[in-house]
Structure 1
């Protein structure tokens, strides 16, 4: 007999086994750090809500499926809302019933939340969400990528197939320095020029509290946005910083000539590899200068490419800056209130910290 119930402490080893086999394609047993991470994220985190627990699907006394949930306070104009952030949906299809995944998701969407959201849905998950009345958000479902050091990008791509080519990194750095010196100022697909931005902005490192203040200022432009106090924003930033698989955390602010903050960026960098932008913030009309400053900062720190998640507010700034777009996972919204669904179609702050990317399960030691 099958049942769906709240996650318990004693379920963690079985959930870790599912996670390790499905998402990591690893052989049992799962590593101990994965058990610790799952326990911390889904049982101990401050975003865990007893009214919106993570769920397990149990058949014949065995856990055959799991879906994670966190409760995030959001605001639609002045109306407070509770959003269920759904993540890590997984089912042992070889041993579970054919509808186990759909039943698990239906139960997760049927809670007391005002809306449910995910930004990491696979094609299979997307079909299940849509079958339950959810709406895909294509404008939030694309990733962008920009080559900033072309020789390093080629070396990094080759090293994924032939690891010994990582020893060519010094030669790639030399080639990129020569390349930047010997090219004009025109914006091209093949890397950044020697002066990638002439917009008069200044970039400097930020501490977590400074970033939280800029986050609060820059997200007020959206009708649908986080309803988080500064200390909660700072807590999410701290949780998102340690991602060993993605590299060191880099947090910077972008300021105009009067030293007024116009935006900020938060990315993780593996030198001579990809800088993964977790959060990009900009005041209205300042998206282009902030994007330029982010690309220039990552290029100067030795990134080969810069990658981030698309936001509708950034779309116009993307024009003319030689960014390529691709689809990796889908962002999806489910709500019984049409006003919420309509706001999330464009005038919303979603993704980054308002998504699954803060989790230590993405880019962490198990990532």
Structure 2
């Protein structure tokens, strides 16, 4: 019998111990809420599909020593519905890595009945395994963009990370006056002007209505329903370690809906865009609304994944581009791959593991999230 099988509810404590060991603290003593968090987001999610389950590697002697999370989605492609499988957290116990447990789980998952398998948070090691199994790299989606708002705060954040990585003492930080001088010299041109468009809170119903209007721009698009989308927003809001979840519908001066954005905005930090969506000719105003809103909430920059429909407008707005985690695809459907490759597929950070919190939430936040 194969040691790879679908995840069962009774496996959750073992999965939590494995994840704590490999990803979080390096011990096998997970916080009480970690198993419950996986239960909420993996087993009890409204997008769950029994034919696209999360998988475990169940060793006869050692028990559960490998895990790959599954986040299924249904998408529309023209007039047909297709199933997507978003590959999530992939972990293998250190004692069995030499057996290729991670690659075996990945191969089993990619060989499911879905039309397209994808992931957007892959390491170099995962990318190498993925491509050996017949997958491809989604090159443009493997880049990130950053629009700096406050250069002093942005530079200070980079310096703090570098000091932490290099082990330098905090006392070696540049003086506050240096950052003030940076802002005075280069900050003014970067401060976003008030946008011509206006924004309002984005409801699940408003997103679904506008998504239907944009089906010509995005033949491949999520087939959400209001209940599932509401659940998704609620779960995203609970990942408070990433900042406040901000979701806004953007309208032109004549009240015409242009598009929307969903982003995490931490005061004093870098906002992270999860979805920035608009039709042709309307992307610029939606981006401007996002950047201005993030700045008004105290963010020092806005960052996100480079989606094809955003790229021309990002260049115009003096964004910084760099390599991010690898975005990977696997499919035997050339129409699907072409839709993604030519920017006609609305695949964003909302439909994957990127926003999730098992590795960033503390014990208290995990317990709250697991409570439902």
Alpha-carbon distance between aligned partners in 2 of 1:146 and 1:10, rounded to the nearest angstrom: 45
Partner of 1:287: 283
User: CA offsets, 1:294-322, max 9 Å, x none?
Assistant: 11111111101111111000111112211
Larger RCO: 1 or 2 (CA < 8 Å, sep 6+): 2
**Which shows bigger deviation, 76-85 or 148-157?**
148-157
**CA 1:206–1:164: 2 relative to 1, 3 Å:** farther
Contact 2:71 2:352 in 1 (8 A): no
Partner of 2:267: 271
The structural deviation recorded for 1:19 is 1.3
The structural deviation recorded for 1:265 is 1.3
The structural deviation recorded for 1:21 is 2.2
Partner of 2:370: none
Partner of 1:141: 142
- How many aligned positions are there? 355
Partner of 2:358: 361
**RMSD of aligned Cα (Å):** 2.9
Structure 2 alignment gaps of length 5 or more: 367-372
**CA 1:228–1:204: 2 relative to 1, 3 Å:** closer
Matched, 1:315 2:311: yes
Where do 1:1-367 residues align within 5 Å? 3-61=3-61, 62-160=63-161, 161=163, 175=180, 179=183, 190=187, 193=190, 196=193, 200-218=196-214, 220-346=216-342, 347-361=344-358, 363-365=360-362
Q: State the SS of the aligned residue for 1:35.
A: helix
Alpha-carbon distance between aligned partners in 1 of 2:90 and 2:315, rounded to the nearest angstrom: 35
Alpha-carbon distance between aligned partners in 2 of 1:271 and 1:194, rounded to the nearest angstrom: 16
**Which shows bigger deviation, 312-321 or 200-209?**
200-209
Alpha-carbon distance between aligned partners in 2 of 1:227 and 1:17, rounded to the nearest angstrom: 34
Contact 2:192 2:291 in 1 (8 A): no
The structural deviation recorded for 1:358 is 4.8
**CA 1:97–1:148: 2 relative to 1, 3 Å:** same
Contact 2:86 2:117 in 1 (8 A): yes
Alpha-carbon distance between aligned partners in 1 of 2:98 and 2:153, rounded to the nearest angstrom: 47
**Which shows bigger deviation, 326-335 or 226-235?**
226-235
Structure 1 alignment gaps of length 5 or more: none
More helix by share: 2
Contact 2:245 2:265 in 1 (8 A): yes
Q: State the SS of the aligned residue for 2:40.
A: helix
The structural deviation recorded for 1:344 is 1.9
Alpha-carbon distance between aligned partners in 2 of 1:164 and 1:99, rounded to the nearest angstrom: 41
The structural deviation recorded for 1:23 is 2.0
Alpha-carbon distance between aligned partners in 1 of 2:227 and 2:209, rounded to the nearest angstrom: 9
Contact 1:236 1:358 in 2 (8 A): no
Alpha-carbon distance between aligned partners in 1 of 2:232 and 2:77, rounded to the nearest angstrom: 20
Q: State the SS of the aligned residue for 1:319.
A: helix
Alpha-carbon distance between aligned partners in 1 of 2:18 and 2:188, rounded to the nearest angstrom: 41
Alpha-carbon distance between aligned partners in 1 of 2:3 and 2:205, rounded to the nearest angstrom: 44
